[in-house]
Amino acid sequence: MKIFSFWRSLATYRVRIALNLKGLVPEEIIEVNLMKGQQRQAEFRAVNPMMAIPALVDGDGPALFESLAIIEYLDETHPNPPLLPRDPRGRARVRGLAQIVACDSHPLIVPRVREYLEHEFKLDEAARTKWCQHWHTAALTALEAHLAGPATGRYCHGDTVTLADICLASQAAGAKFFNVDTARFPNFSRIANSLATIDAFARAHPLKQPGAPAA
């Protein structure tokens, strides 16, 4: 197994957590330096035409792409521990929470969007940060409303770690990167703090990866 990765990538963080939870260790980690634009180089474009990480190669065949698809693939090929509940309604809730992060919020703050705002619309850094903080807060507000309900337990869905928690952890790391105050989202913050104490999450954290700054 080999993974295309960069320390700061929140989507790759999600896949790293899943790999750790499943006890899987890729033989090779290939850095795609997003700060140098390596995701747009021909070599990586051939791996993932969307020019985004993560991508995961498992055995023969083309690379898998999109963090949620990769995580569900890992869950199907390595079912223990399961990352989705068994009941259809629970699965839908967990996938819904995950998608608020991975589909509604995160895509709005990735480098290609920030760079487009900068070069096409001439937004300065303060305006771009405001943009990112706005979309972070929108997702946090929605997540907090869901997490205030009775289906929430120690984690997003009961007391077992699921795909939703993997995504919540990436939202929490992103909030720190963009200086978004999460204190007014108490359920979100409580779960993020619990997850941070789990080894599979802690080891996968962006700031623990090679090349990351000290803080």
Ligand X SMILES: N[C@@H](CCC(=O)N[C@@H](CS)C(=O)NCC(=O)O)C(=O)O
Q: Which residues bind ligand X (CB under 6 A)?
A: 9-11, 34, 39, 51-54, 66-68, 102, 107, 110-112
Between 3 and 152, CB nearer to ligand X? 3
**Judged by CB, which is closer to ligand X: 107, or 153?**
107
Strand partners, 29: 3
Choice between 9 and 162, CB closer to ligand X: 9
User: Residue 16 or 146: which CB sits closer to ligand X?
Assistant: 16
CB of 112 vs ligand X, minimal distance in Å: 3
Nearer Cβ to ligand X, position 116 or 153? 116
* Beta carbon of residue 87, minimum distance to ligand X (angstroms, whole number): 25
Antiparallel, parallel or unpaired: β 55-57 and 64-65: antiparallel
**Least distance to ligand X, CB of residue 161, Å:** 19
Beta strand spans in 32-121 (E): 55-57, 64-65
- Report the residue number, 34 or 156, with the smaller CB distance to ligand X: 34
Q: Least distance to ligand X from the beta carbon of 52, Å?
A: 3
Strand partners, 152: 158
16: phi > 0 → left, psi -120 to 50 → alpha, else beta; which? alpha
Alpha-carbon distance of 7 to 25, in angstroms, equals 16
For residue 181, the one-letter residue type is D
Strand partners, 128: none
Whether omega for the bond prior to residue 54 falls within 30 degrees of 0, making it cis, is: yes
The count of other CB atoms within 10 Å of the CB of residue 187 is 17
Angle at 38 between CA 171 and CA 26, to 5 degrees: 65
What is the smallest separation between the CB atom of 153 and ligand X, expressed in angstroms?
25
Q: How far is the CB of 155 from ligand X (least distance, A)?
A: 20
